[in-house]
Amino acid sequence: MIKKENDFVIHVATVNGSGSQSSNSVLVKSLFRMGLGVSGKNMFPSNIAGLPTWFTIRISEKRYAGRNSNNHLVVAMNPSTVKQDIDSVANEGYFIYNSDMKFDSALLRDDVTNVGISYRSLIKGVTDSVKLKKLLVNMIYAGVVAELIGIPEDVIETVVTDQFSSKPGVVESNLKAIATGREYAKENLEPNNFGLKVKPIDNGNEGKILIDGNTATALGFMYGGCTFLSWYPITPSSSITENFEFYAKKFRQDESGANTFAVVQAEDELSAISMVIGAGWTGARAATCTSGPGLSLMAEAAGLSYFAEVPAVIWNVQRGGPSTGLPTRTQQGDLLSSVYLSHGDTEHVVLLPTGPEECFEFGQTCFDVAESLQTLVVVLSDLDTGMNLWISDELKPSSQSFQRGKVLREEDLKNRDSFERYGDVDGDAIPYRTLPGTHHPLAGYFTRGTGHKPDAGYSEDNEVYRDLQLRLKRKRISAKEYLPQPVIDSRPNAKIGIIAYGSTDAAIPELRDSLATEGVETNYLRVRAFPFDDSIEKFIEDNDTVYVVEQNRDGQLHHLIQKEWPHYYSKLKSICQFDGLPLEAKFIQNQVMNFQGAR
Amino acid sequence: MAGENTQGLTKKDYMGAKSTLCTGCGHDSITSNIVNALFLANVNPYDVAKLSGIGCSAKTTNYFLNSSHGFNAIHGRMAPLATGVKVAHSGLTALGVSGDGDTASIGFGGFAHLLRRNLPMTYIVENNGVYGLTKGQFSATADKGTRHKDGTENPFETIDICSLAIDLGCSFVARSFSGDNKQLTALLMAAMKHHGTAVIDIISPCITFANNEGSTRSFSAVKENLNPLNKIDVIQPQEDIKVDYDPGTSREVELPDGSKIILSKIDEDHDPSNRLDAITKLVHARESGKILTGLFYVNESQKTLMEELNLTKKPLRDLNEEETRPSESVLSDIMQDFK
């Protein structure tokens, strides 16, 4: 039997809508408070109730937060998936199942420690309410697991108390369910002999929080001065707007109780982005949150933002595409469509946050970039980043002032003889703008998505159009100054490079350590923005082979890098995983070793 | 000074670029009436945001108010664009000009939801029943049975922007004709002073693509079938009452700035607070091939989006760190929930 301490994986199979999310988060939070490296990944269906859902809790001594499918302990509560759940247990692992489920017991594996528990009889002692039984049964397995692996009673109790702090009655019934599970385990399962154990680590999570990326984004918007947020509800982005509204209603009101923000639920995503463009044109820090199908709908307006140079932010939490795709699975499939969103020659600025800290940071700076460059900024998060639980450094507000870009007010215009909306006065391809409501005869101009002269007047002239498009292209050079640079981590003598972005990053530390044990030392560059920083070219140059790792079918980041630096064609290798599950280090490692072997 | 309004501006100050529409286009007379109404209503041009989508109608926002900011956006998106503009700066006067394709086809969803939200703005539909800029295809507001220049008959039901707007909760719904200067100017003034969304559906014949025999939107057909429901006058607070009306047969609607709309009876009395009656009259008129014009419905007490959003006094777009960045201690308190 497997014996492990502070380094194993718990995989829970339940039915969605059964309340298992609460039990799983109680377990994750308890492990977090014990100081352990822990992460929680929910794999849920596009459905409200009744379909299979899985939750994976990874406890990692080295604090790896990537997915690991080596399930040392599987908790099976869903009869419809019991066969695959049995198969999913690691060799010599543990299988704790609800013995009330009807299934062929011959399926149970010999190499696995099988523990059947009749929850039906246990729940009787917890509640009489039929409705509550369904929910609280999950807290019983949380109690069983807590007892077996050694989560102290006081830790889990305070977590439950905090989690349901607004409903004292709920605290009581949940604690009773947990205690029932613990009692059962104590009396029947010999917890002392259980092979998977957790031990508290003093101050292990000092200065840390456990949070999902979408909540961090919402807080970023709140601290970044977002005043206008429009949306059309879509998984997996909805919780950004919901959280923004929740916090802003508390913390973004003036002394009279009036709001310093507006949230408007639009009729569709094209309206949502059109509202953002209207607000951005007027001078507000405006954003919309969406996912793939919404992004596609926004394409025409994205071109308007680019061509008429109106600040706007789209926060795209990527899911499996194309079309409706896999609405509740993660992917990085929208990079190319974000960069080139719209017909005609466009090339948008794209920010690529990793983890909650950067969701918070970019949730603020995306407005600086959009206003400074007067253009659309697409921020690409993904479901894994946005909806799963990550340990992050505690979020700290920025002390930086907002960068509101080149805006001329009445007082600025007083000292001028003329104003050209699209004149490249500073030679950085970024023009000055005025805002509607500016009381000055020079201020007014006419914004249009049609061809226009530097003074904003309509034009179909070929040279005027060409000059405009070339200036917009030059803007990408100026853009780099405003964008976050790549994060590079080099190891001595390493000649193999890895390039990744976003949630793929979670698998990289584990990958590099593991490759190192095979004698393959690596350097790592994490891309944080497009247009690309020149340091990426240097990184490619310095390495013999560079693996571009990402979560889509066609190697979209690889494609963009190759397009930028075609002379490095033979050095760049594409590694793609795109099945909707978060990337696993061992998958990448196999791919790398295959490539290395082939060399 | 003579010829100046209370802003100290002359009518010329409200004019714009030279129109590039076809000579005789109904839209150009609407532009003249917009200029007139802005001037008479003493609107400050610097406070106006001119908004439009795409089409012949959309171009016209360039033909008035040269000194204002204008935004000729993408096809059918004037309504959500206006929502963003107005929410970002509630002090702006949002003046939108749309067409029948822009409003009743490609932008139908945005239009419907703008009305539900009652966003304070003037929403003008320059309605000619055809797609002018793409050379005369029927639009969704073309009458069933009307004939194209080539003789083709429109087989589909028409969309009546006014009855639809009333049904969707629009708080100011009117129809006029591009050639009826008196009625149109008065309606535009009232619309600009209205507290919520004001929709004016303006029948504006297309001289090039729908002025043929068999078209129900030719100048002659429209003139023949016009059926004004009421006579409209707007009396502003600073004005002496010069309008000739009989209080016994007229109805008054008070506007937020203290102005009054005086509605005088023509054939039969119409109560502009009665939505059902307004819809009934519109349906009857349509069935008898008549073009009912006038102010059909107005409600000055309906809650607007701005009221619903409960916004701080300073325009959202002017808020900076000091107004929008909560203190460090707020964040550190929030962080406790994630520990």
Convert the pLDDT of each residue in B276-326 to its tens digit: 999 999 999 999 999 999 999 999 999 999 999 999 999 999 999 999 999
Q: Where is pLDDT greater, at A476 or B242? A: A476
Residue A280: pLDDT over 60? yes
**Chain A residues touching B21 at Cβ < 8 A:** none
Cα A561 → chain centroid: 22
Residue B304 three-state SS: coil
Q: Per the structure, how many domains does chain B have?
A: 1
Q: Cβ of A61: how many Cβ atoms within 10 Å?
A: 13
Q: What is the mean pLDDT of chain B?
A: 95
Query: Is the CB of residue A209 less than 8 Å away from at least one CB of chain B?
Result: yes
User: What local confidence, expressed as pLDDT, does residue A356 receive?
Assistant: 98
Closest chain A residue to B70, measured at CA: A446
Angle (CA) B14 B16 B20, round 5° = 145
Q: What is the rounded CA–CA span in Å between residue A240 and residue A24?
A: 21
State whether A275 and B84 contact (CB < 8 Å).
Answer: yes
pLDDT digits (tens, 9 = 90+) for A489-509: 999 999 999 999 999 999 999
Q: Which of residues 86-125 of B touch A (CB under 8 A)?
A: 86-89, 91-92, 109-110, 112-113, 117
Residues A66/A40, Cβ–Cβ less than 8 Å: no
User: What local confidence, expressed as pLDDT, does residue A49 receive?
Assistant: 84
CATH number of B222's domain = 3.40.50.970
Q: Is residue B128 part of a domain?
A: yes
Q: Pairing mode, if any, of strands A8-15 and A52-59?
A: antiparallel
User: What local confidence, expressed as pLDDT, does residue B240 receive?
Assistant: 65
Q: Is residue B165 part of a domain?
A: yes
**Chain A residues touching B328 at Cβ < 8 A:** 396-397
Residues A339/A560, Cβ–Cβ less than 8 Å: yes
Q: What is the rounded CA–CA span in Å between residue B34 and residue B23?
A: 18
User: What local confidence, expressed as pLDDT, does residue B245 receive?
Assistant: 66
| Residue A351, CA distances (Å) to A279, A335, A574 in order | 21, 10, 21
Q: Is residue B52 part of a domain?
A: yes
Q: Is residue B58 part of a domain?
A: yes
Residue B108 three-state SS: helix
State whether B320 and A449 contact (CB < 8 Å).
Answer: no
Residue B93: pLDDT over 70? yes
Q: Pairing mode, if any, of strands A89-98 and A113-117?
A: parallel
Q: How far is A365 from chain B (nearest CA, A)?
A: 13
| Residue B72, CA distances (Å) to A65, A277, B31, B104 in order | 48, 12, 16, 18
Quick one: average pLDDT of B16-24?
96
Query: Is the CB of residue A297 less than 8 Å away from at least one CB of chain B?
Result: no
User: What local confidence, expressed as pLDDT, does residue A48 receive?
Assistant: 85
Residues A289/A229, Cβ–Cβ less than 8 Å: yes
Q: Which of residues 36-75 of B touch A (CB under 8 A)?
A: 44-51, 61-62, 65-74
Q: Is residue B319 part of a domain?
A: no
Q: Is residue B320 part of a domain?
A: no
Q: Is residue B323 part of a domain?
A: no
Please give the residue range of the domain that contains residue B134: 11-309
Q: Binning pLDDT at 50, 70 and 90, where does residue A168 land?
A: confident
Quick one: average pLDDT of A423-436?
98
**Chain A residues touching B68 at Cβ < 8 A:** 436, 444
Q: What is the rounded CA–CA span in Å between residue B201 and residue B221?
A: 17
**Chain B residues touching A443 at Cβ < 8 A:** 46, 67, 69
User: What local confidence, expressed as pLDDT, does residue A96 receive?
Assistant: 98
pLDDT digits (tens, 9 = 90+) for B139-163: 999 999 999 999 999 999 999 999 9
Question: ipTM score of the complex?
Answer: 0.98
Domains of chain A: 4-204 (3.40.920.10), 211-393 (3.40.50.970), 410-482 (no CATH), 487-598 (3.40.50.920)
Residue B172: pLDDT over 60? yes
Q: Which of residues 373-392 of A touch B (CB under 8 A)?
A: none
Q: How far is A221 from chain B (nearest CA, A)?
A: 10
Q: How far is A190 from chain B (nearest CA, A)?
A: 31
Residue B147 three-state SS: strand
Cα B144 → chain centroid: 24
Residue A367: pLDDT over 90? yes
Q: Binning pLDDT at 50, 70 and 90, where does residue B247 land?
A: low
Q: Binning pLDDT at 50, 70 and 90, where does residue B267 land?
A: confident
Q: What is the rounded CA–CA span in Å between residue B163 and residue B292?
A: 11
Closest chain A residue to B327, measured at CA: A397
Beta-carbon contacts of residue B36 (< 8 Å; ≥ 6 apart)? B11, B181, B185, B188
Q: What is the rounded CA–CA span in Å between residue A136 and residue A294?
A: 37
User: What local confidence, expressed as pLDDT, does residue B244 receive?
Assistant: 66
Q: Binning pLDDT at 50, 70 and 90, where does residue A166 land?
A: confident
Query: Is the CB of residue B157 less than 8 Å away from at least one CB of chain A?
Result: no
Q: Binning pLDDT at 50, 70 and 90, where does residue A223 land?
A: very high
Residue A512 has phi, psi (to 5 degrees) of -65, -40
